[in-house]
Amino acid sequence: MVLVVRDTARYFIRPGCTRLLSSIKILGRDYPTDEETNITEHLLKHTDKLLHMRQSHPLQIVKQRIVEHMQAKYLWNNRSPLFSHYDNITPVVSHAQNFDQLLVPSDHVSRRRQENYFINKDKMLRAHMTCHDQDLLRSGLDCFLSTGDVYRRDTIDRTHYPVFHQMDGVRLFSSWELEEFAKDPKSLK
């Protein structure tokens, strides 16, 4: 990749790479770029599609069926849904959210530039929905579903595409719930 500075704007000279990159806009917010930026114009166009939220789109229909199932099957004692659902979380995350908080070793292959889309040295497009779990847990949630687009640098072919969709489900159990489950695995609700 060749970085050329021209009139204080950055241009990346590589087929398919974003042309003018002093900053890039993702979901209405501008992010500064630097030597770590490796997002292509093609990929950038996908960040605002949000197919999992488009009414009547197949992804939205599947997502909604899973959410409805989980909210109908797993209920609190007062019959309200146990699982809350979050599907409008920004795909822009810090490197710490995507790797460090999940204890991914600093030399792990999944951290490589060839595997991810970096906005700059501090921000990237999430590679998995799990990167939001700690933030949701810290907010006080202990049972939730999260859905969204995730981005990985795959070679595009009939079975691979750099944008796909994931749903995470998280539930924390108390020690007495786990003890009951050990006695009777069917007792867990």
Q: 86 and 145 in contact (C-beta within 8 Å)?
A: yes
CA dist 25 → 18, 19, 22, 80, 163 (Å): 12, 13, 10, 39, 17
CA dist 104 → 48, 95, 96, 112 (Å): 28, 11, 10, 12
- Model confidence over 94-120: pLDDT tens digits? 999 999 898 998 899 888 888 899 999
| The pLDDT value given to residue 127 | 94
- Is pLDDT above 50 for 147? yes
Between 163 and 15, the higher pLDDT residue: 163
| The pLDDT value given to residue 15 | 47
| The pLDDT value given to residue 6 | 35
- Model confidence over 24-40: pLDDT tens digits? 999 999 999 998 999 88
Total Cβ atoms within 10 A of residue 33: 24
Banded model confidence at residue 17, pLDDT cuts 50, 70, 90: low
Encode 123-150: b = buried (16+ Cβ within 10 Å), e = exposed. Answer: bbbbbbbbbbbeebeeeebebbbbbbbb
- Is pLDDT above 70 for 44? yes
